[in-house]
Structure 1
Amino acid sequence: MRALASFPLIAAAIALPQTAHAQSVGVDSGDTAWMILCALIVLIAALPGLALRRAGLANARNGLSAAAQGLGMAATASLAWGIAGYSLAYAPGGGWLGGGANLFMGGMADLREGLTVPETAFALFQMTLALLGVTLIAGALAERARFGWMLLFAPLWLLIVYAPVARWMWGGGWLAELGALDFAGALVVHLTAGCSALVLGLIIGPRERAEGGAHAPLLTLAGSAMLWVGLMAANGGWALGAANDAASALLNTHFAACAGLIGWALTDRLLGGRTSATGLASGAIAGLVAISASAGLVGGAGAMAIGLIAAIACRIVAGMIGRGRIDDPARIFAVHGVGGLIGALLLIPFTPATLGGVGFDPSVGYGAIIAAQLIGIAAIAVWAMLGSAILGLGLSFILPMRVSADEEATGLDAAHHGQQAWDFR
């Protein structure tokens, strides 16, 4: 099965960080500046972008808490990344986890092996992707999860769920050796966060008073626009340098977002409803999520098709979930989980050179390619759900996961007003 890892023709676009740009001999200031810039833009999406989106989608009584919870989770998760997360994902080690060479950011090389950037720049960029996944989960639990519980959950989730998945796909782990592909996070970031949000939503249960949600669509649109730009930076940054691959990934990402917006709007109309502003934003994000799997591997036509198909599928799933027991105010599973899954699958038919993609090694059959991708999707989904369920339930014995009925009825903004705003109740 290890032979499957060799099937892409363009190694620079999808190779493991240890092997990309293998001929580099020193730090390239342009590539370094590009990765740092992309990291900062992704951070804007993960912090103010998603905070505004969560606040706008929440009830008026919970907008502030919905925005702040993700910021708190990002803080504790960032510390976990610096202490052990980066080392577990990218330090020399085995196929399942990295070793301890980079604990507390120690032992960082002046030049990341195989790249043209310092290892600190690479670690910074990877941290912003991890924080994106962490803060996405906050949107699924808004209006009913305890702030203290979320602060404890975030760093443990990063270490136990996210870091191993990053190792498997991007750090030379067993899924990379098998041949599973994920250019910029459709599986590692979005499917992982989406599946985690799904199981945590089932555990915590629906809101008692879900009516009156999405009180500020303008905030939602502003946050979604930041997320649009941030996910473009995530895909462009994964080209690992300021070159043609980065520009191609950016173009494909934007095309997919635009097609996704149109696809969601058309599906809204065909299903008998009206197109909403927040729906347009969700469609664009669905396209952005889906193309993350293949932004540097497909052509423009493939990117448009992927964004369109993914948005239609995500809209249908969102409608189904809206009628069920799962209460996900930010549609994390429907948009990010399903979008990541669809994007990882559509990578296969749209990567061939006949459709403008980079192509596959003709010596490897499509059956083997499909098998590797399906194994990767299944392994990541199961790991995310099991890990999140065990963490969520385990932490609830230490600190209840859900606020009291009185706090929920009053609204978390009012219940946590003043000096008690961010206590650990």
Structure 2
Amino acid sequence: MYLKKMIRLAGAFAALPGLALAQEAEPALSAGDTAFVATCALIVMLMMLPGLGLFYAGMARSKNVLSVLTQIFASIALICILWIAYGYSLFIDGTGPVLGGLGKVFLAGVTQDSLTGTLPEYLYVLFMMMFAAITPPLIIGAFAERVKFSAVLVFMAVWFTINYVPMAHMAWGGGWVFHVGVLDFAGGNVVHLNAGMAALVCALVIGPRRGWRTTMMAPHNMTMTYSGGAMLWVGWLAFCGGCALAANGFSALIMLNTMLGGAAGALGWMVTEWIHRKRPSTFGVLSGAIAGLVAITPACGFVGPAGAILVGLLTAPVCVFAVEVMKPKFGYDDSFDVFGVHGVGAVVGGILTVIFAAPVLGGTGFPEGRTMMGQMGPQLAIMAFSILVSVVTTYIALKITAALVGLRVEEEDEYTGLDTTTHGETGYRLSDGAFGGNAVMTAPGEVAPVMATRLNKVPG
């Protein structure tokens, strides 16, 4: 069985992208595996652009829709270049406990004949680039509508360098976490817990948007957010499924589990909101699907279909509590609930992974003969370590960014909107002459009461 072979080769139960280190001697290129992973990489690209962009941009106010889209687009482009320049080398070159080496800077030594397992190494570089490129832009949802464009780019470059690359190497590239035996198949810690905690730090350090809790700040275009959310769900199947690095029954199970986690999360959030607010919202169903997908990310390779459903179903209400109760109580302006969905969802998903990995519950079991309780200790320890690294490195990245270019836009620019003040464009025009060609159309969605209460926390 594929999973058992991974355990034997890697000496750890945490598979995922670090499988590059667990290849057998003289592997042969597999056309089927190559086609499968290449397709997954392309779908994950669509998950980022336009998926994540549309999902976040629809949640912004109409005067900031282009700024959100541009921040995400430019950040992804920047990280792709940095990944090739030094990120991939520090991720995979060598087995240092925290970082690799510089032997593959700008892909030195990688050729068309180089293999990673049964894949061309160039394809492995591309697939892992998708993980690197989507993780930092998730954080944009926490500080949207108030940060300088230059600050976004500087922060992304610094955070990618001091946070993502070491975290990826430690977990997947042969670092010390790789050998601990954590049940995290597709990046619950490196991607979602990491970005979620970074989002909370950014929200606290940068501070709330001007007018938060006194001015309506609901999503301006829910159809845009719906379209982006749907693309994220589709892309998530490739995000997790491609991590098997092979086209076989195991990758099919991963994709099925991912689908079920998202579906159960959507229903879990919908029912919770229905009870709490007396009506289910489109926004809630979308948020629940994302919460379920976040939670199933670490679990998808270790649980059965029934376990996947329960992971999504149990995680969604906890995330509802995080965004509906914790956020207003502690008073932080996480613009698009990145911490409440990704951070909290990853913690709950990581814990539930251990529970539903138990063979008696349909899971694949635990490494090295561990029991459920024996596995829970390392699981919680690595999650705590991931939280600590994320908090410290994010704070450092913010301080470096503030020293170099500053963080926030001027008060007048924030009031006017970043589309016009930063980019000289508007997302919507009524006509070229009606308002001097510069008017921003206010969409009806800006006064939707359910969404306004969720994102703005207007009392009552």
**TM-score of the pair, normalised by structure 2:** 0.86
Match runs of 1:215-364 below 5 Å: 215-323=220-328, 324-361=330-367, 363-364=369-370
Indicate the SS of the match to 2:261: helix
Are the structure 2 counterparts of residues 96 and 9 from structure 1 closer, same or farther at C-alpha, using a change threshold of 3 Å? Answer: closer
Match runs of 1:4-403 below 5 Å: 16-20=18-22, 22=24, 25-108=27-110, 110-113=113-116, 115-210=117-212, 211-323=216-328, 324-361=330-367, 363-403=369-409
Name the CA distance, whole Å, in 1 between partners of 2:206 and 2:306. 41
Contact 1:10 1:358 in 2 (8 A): no
Name the CA distance, whole Å, in 2 between partners of 1:282 and 1:318. 10
User: Shift in Å at residue 28 of structure 1?
Assistant: 0.7
Matched to 1:405, the amino acid is E
Name the CA distance, whole Å, in 2 between partners of 1:319 and 1:6. 45
Instruction: Give the unaligned 5+ runs of structure 2.
Output: 1-6, 428-460
Indicate the SS of the match to 2:115: coil
Name the CA distance, whole Å, in 1 between partners of 2:219 and 2:203. 18
User: Shift in Å at residue 169 of structure 1?
Assistant: 1.0
User: Shift in Å at residue 340 of structure 1?
Assistant: 1.2
Contact 2:222 2:283 in 1 (8 A): yes
Structure 1 range deviating more: 89-98 or 220-229: 89-98
Q: Which residue is 2:439 aligned to?
A: none
- CA offsets, 1:14-73, max 9 Å, x none? 583234453772111111111111111111111211111111000111111111111111
Contact 1:12 1:20 in 2 (8 A): no
Are the structure 2 counterparts of residues 44 and 419 from structure 1 closer, same or farther at C-alpha, using a change threshold of 3 Å? Answer: closer
Contact 1:288 1:307 in 2 (8 A): yes
Indicate the SS of the match to 2:365: coil
Name the CA distance, whole Å, in 2 between partners of 1:224 and 1:263. 16
Structure 1 range deviating more: 329-338 or 360-369: 360-369
Contact 1:8 1:359 in 2 (8 A): no
Matched to 1:384, the amino acid is S
Name the CA distance, whole Å, in 1 between partners of 2:338 and 2:382. 20
Contact 1:56 1:217 in 2 (8 A): yes
Q: Which residue is 2:413 aligned to?
A: 407
User: Shift in Å at residue 420 of structure 1?
Assistant: 12
Contact 1:98 1:167 in 2 (8 A): yes
- CA offsets, 1:358-377, max 9 Å, x none? 11247324343111111110
Name the CA distance, whole Å, in 1 between partners of 2:219 and 2:426. 26
- CA offsets, 1:88-130, max 9 Å, x none? 11111312111112111212253434x1001111111111011
Are the structure 2 counterparts of residues 362 and 171 from structure 1 closer, same or farther at C-alpha, using a change threshold of 3 Å? Answer: closer
User: Shift in Å at residue 13 of structure 1?
Assistant: 5.2
CA-based RMSD of the aligned residues comes to 2.2
Name the CA distance, whole Å, in 2 between partners of 1:403 and 1:99. 38
Q: Report the structure number with the largest CA radius of gyration.
A: 2
Matched to 1:16, the amino acid is G
Structure 1 range deviating more: 410-419 or 42-51: 410-419
Name the % identity.
38
Name the CA distance, whole Å, in 1 between partners of 2:23 and 2:256. 22
Indicate the SS of the match to 1:292: helix
Contact 1:55 1:63 in 2 (8 A): yes
User: Shift in Å at residue 270 of structure 1?
Assistant: 2.4
Structure 1 range deviating more: 6-15 or 73-82: 6-15
**TM-score of the pair, normalised by structure 1:** 0.93
Name the CA distance, whole Å, in 2 between partners of 1:10 and 1:181. 9
Indicate the SS of the match to 1:182: coil
Instruction: Give the unaligned 5+ runs of structure 1.
Output: none
Are the structure 2 counterparts of residues 8 and 128 from structure 1 closer, same or farther at C-alpha, using a change threshold of 3 Å? Answer: closer
Equivalenced residues, count: 416
Contact 1:16 1:170 in 2 (8 A): yes
- CA offsets, 1:236-260, max 9 Å, x none? 0001111111110010000010100
Are the structure 2 counterparts of residues 371 and 166 from structure 1 closer, same or farther at C-alpha, using a change threshold of 3 Å? Answer: same
Name the CA distance, whole Å, in 1 between partners of 2:171 and 2:233. 24
Name the CA distance, whole Å, in 1 between partners of 2:13 and 2:207. 44
Contact 1:91 1:98 in 2 (8 A): yes
Name the CA distance, whole Å, in 2 between partners of 1:72 and 1:10. 37
Indicate the SS of the match to 1:16: helix
Contact 1:82 1:105 in 2 (8 A): yes
Structure 1 range deviating more: 137-146 or 205-214: 205-214
Contact 1:8 1:361 in 2 (8 A): no
Name the CA distance, whole Å, in 1 between partners of 2:167 and 2:314. 26
Name the CA distance, whole Å, in 1 between partners of 2:17 and 2:365. 14
Structure 1 range deviating more: 372-381 or 172-181: 172-181
- CA offsets, 1:173-194, max 9 Å, x none? 1112122231001111111111
User: Shift in Å at residue 419 of structure 1?
Assistant: 8.3
Name the CA distance, whole Å, in 2 between partners of 1:212 and 1:366. 44
Indicate the SS of the match to 2:369: coil
Indicate the SS of the match to 1:293: helix
- CA offsets, 1:175-224, max 9 Å, x none? 12122231001111111111111101111111113423201000000000
